[in-house]
């Protein structure tokens, strides 16, 4: 293997580590929530705010990430994100109280917001058309590895320290348990930081600094930075933003954060629910691997259509399970618990085969070169604000209405997602960034 090929492999691996860290900070609260509820440290509303704090801060960090990446370079911003993610567990675990916990979650969100803009941007600028889909797939694949690791941490804590509903688990042990969960978030941050040290700076950023813009695919003439609101950029910008908003409106983040609680509420015990949680993210991992092989063969719109249809069906099926439990047609039991797991697993599998991989390509490919940095930042901000709203009200709506109406509502958003993908999103498979930009200019 020549040096150029070796570096591409290294680049993909380290960008993947960024993907692993992207959702890790947000999802790590998933196995901690049952312990926090058992200790009655926070109200339902406070737990919702602590969960969604990551998304809120990620939204605002993403808004400035493009500017920071333009000023200091993509590599330095990735290193900054890794450092912030590693330090975030300190106020959560060492300083007692709601506001210190909130501050730590905010730091985790800032790291996620920076990564969510800069890593896909870096991949789009460093990889050619042949490898760009693979890069986005690996980013999502490693994102799932991070989520799976979170669930394995939950299993380990339950088996070593004790379950939150086990009478034998003391309050002191429960406090150790949820703090152990959060301490684990330092590991992927350290891995990404060390790996990013070996990355080269983006050739596009270096060329801009030299007064000449080019992509990994081919050269392009130098040009000033344009506004995303110029007429020729409005259509791709709006379409990318709509795709991102629809992605979060389906509740993918909320289900990711609260899946373990949903399984327990459906009738599974501590240990079984944690094993089901691991199985859920193993399904996501497998489907993401399949999506990585299909995204450059079948195309972006094909996978989005397949994925969104599956999400609608799965949401409805899971909703009926919880409706049966709430109306007394079925008692919470091992059977009802596994039926709920099946519905949620279907949702996660469908999300993974389509939106999970394609959304990052939509963000990086649809934005023309002259507006990519600022366009991606604004797009991610809107994406994260939708995720914040859904995550912040999810538990509160469930407490008021039950799971079924909430899942049916999310299914409705998935229908809108399908319509957007099927009728408005152009196929970009196999096209260079310059070809995609020319396509928009001709419309």
Q: What is the pLDDT of residues 146-158, one digit of tens each?
A: 888 888 898 899 8
C-beta of residue 426 within 8 angstroms of C-beta of residue 209: no
C-beta of residue 58 within 8 angstroms of C-beta of residue 113: yes
Within 10 angstroms of residue 185's Cβ, the number of other Cβ atoms is 27
Average pLDDT over residues 166-187: 89
Percent of all residues in the chain with a pLDDT value above 90, rounded to a whole number: 30
**CA 31 to CA 179: how far, in whole Å?**
11
Contacts of 98 (CB under 8 A, 6+ apart): 42, 46, 50
Choose the weakest-confidence range: 130-139, 213-222, 232-241. Answer: 213-222
What's the Cα-to-Cα distance from 270 to each of 1, 158, 202, rounded to whole Å?
48, 8, 46
Q: Residue 70: is its pLDDT beyond 80? A: yes
Q: What's the CATH class of domain 3-218+230-441?
A: mainly alpha
- Residue whose entry in the numeric block shows the structure tokens 């094909």: 302
**CA 247 to CA 360: how far, in whole Å?**
10
**CA 325 to CA 348: how far, in whole Å?**
22
Length reported for the chain: 443
- Phi and psi at residue 223, to the nearest 5°: -155, 150
**CA 150 to CA 158: how far, in whole Å?**
13
What is residue 391's predicted lDDT score, i.e. its pLDDT? 86
Choose the weakest-confidence range: 211-215, 316-320, 434-438. Answer: 211-215
Q: Residue 370 gets which letter from DSSP?
A: G
Token code pair at residue 389: 């709203």
Core vs surface per residue 99-124: b (16+ CB within 10 A) or e = eebbbbbbbbbbbbbbbbbbbbbbbb
What is residue 219's predicted lDDT score, i.e. its pLDDT? 47
**CA 395 to CA 401: how far, in whole Å?**
10
272 pLDDT band (50/70/90 cuts)?
Answer: very high
**CA 205 to CA 203: how far, in whole Å?**
5
Choose the weakest-confidence range: 96-105, 360-369, 387-396. Answer: 360-369
- Residue whose entry in the numeric block shows the structure tokens 């085969």: 353
Tell me the whole-structure pTM to 2 decimals.
Answer: 0.74
Average pLDDT over residues 270-278: 90
Angle between helices 355-366 and 433-441 (to 10 degrees): 70
What would the pLDDT profile of 293-342 be if each residue is shown by its tens digit? 887 777 778 889 999 999 999 999 999 999 999 999 998 899 999 999 99
Every domain of the chain and the residues it spans: 3-218+230-441
DSSP 3-state assignment of 275?
helix
Contacts of 73 (CB under 8 A, 6+ apart): 201, 202, 205
- Residue whose entry in the numeric block shows the structure tokens 């000449």: 212
What is residue 228's predicted lDDT score, i.e. its pLDDT? 55
Average pLDDT over residues 169-183: 90
What is residue 436's predicted lDDT score, i.e. its pLDDT? 65
**CA 357 to CA 304: how far, in whole Å?**
9
Average pLDDT over residues 376-385: 77
What is residue 220's predicted lDDT score, i.e. its pLDDT? 44
Strands, E assignment, 360-441: none
């Amino acid at each position: 293997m020549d040096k150029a090929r070796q570096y591409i492999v290294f680049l993909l691996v380290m960008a993947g580590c960024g993907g692993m860290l992207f959702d890790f900070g947000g999802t790590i609260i998933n196995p901690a929530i049952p312990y926090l509820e058992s200790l009655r440290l926070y109200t339902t509303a406070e737990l919702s705010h602590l969960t969604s704090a990551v998304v809120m801060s990620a939204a605002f960090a993403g808004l400035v990430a493009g500017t920071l990446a333009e000023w200091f370079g993509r590599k330095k911003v990735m290193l900054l994100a890794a450092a912030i993610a590693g330090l975030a567990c300190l106020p959560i675990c060492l300083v007692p109280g709601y506001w210190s916990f909130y501050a730590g979650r905010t730091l985790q969100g800032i790291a996620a917001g920076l990564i969510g803009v800069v890593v896909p941007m870096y991949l789009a600028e460093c990889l050619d058309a042949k490898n760009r889909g693979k890069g986005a797939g690996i980013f999502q694949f490693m994102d799932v590895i991070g989520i799976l690791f979170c669930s394995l941490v939950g299993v380990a804590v339950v088996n070593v320290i004790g379950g939150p509903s086990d009478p034998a688990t003391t309050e002191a042990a429960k406090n150790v348990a949820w703090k152990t969960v959060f301490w684990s978030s330092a590991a992927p941050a350290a891995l990404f930081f060390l790996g990013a040290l070996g990355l080269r700076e983006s050739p596009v950023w270096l060329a801009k600094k030299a007064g000449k813009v080019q992509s990994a695919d081919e050269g392009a003439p130098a040009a000033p930075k344009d506004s995303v609101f110029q007429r020729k950029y409005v259509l791709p910008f709006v379409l990318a933003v709509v795709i991102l908003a629809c992605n979060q409106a389906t509740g993918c983040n909320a289900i990711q954060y609260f899946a373990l609680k949903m399984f327990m509420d459906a009738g599974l015990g501590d240990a079984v629910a944690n094993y089901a949680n691991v199985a859920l993210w193993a399904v996501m991992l497998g489907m993401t691997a399949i999506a990585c092989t299909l995204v450059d063969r079948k195309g972006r719109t094909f996978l989005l259509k397949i994925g969104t249809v599956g999400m609608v069906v799965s949401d409805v099926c899971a909703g009926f399970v919880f409706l049966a439990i709430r109306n007394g047609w079925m008692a919470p039991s091992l059977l009802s618990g596994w039926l709920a797991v099946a519905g949620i697993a279907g949702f996660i599998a469908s999300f993974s085969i389509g939106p999970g991989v394609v959304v990052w390509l939509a963000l990086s490919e649809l934005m023309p070169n002259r507006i990519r940095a600022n366009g991606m930042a604004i797009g991610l901000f809107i994406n994260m604000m939708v995720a914040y709203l859904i995550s912040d009200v999810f538990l509160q709506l469930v407490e008021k209405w039950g799971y079924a109406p909430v899942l049916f509502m999310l299914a409705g958003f998935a229908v809108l997602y399908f319509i957007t993908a099927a009728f408005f999103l152009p196929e970009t498979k196999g096209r260079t960034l310059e070809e995609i930009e020319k396509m928009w200019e001709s419309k």
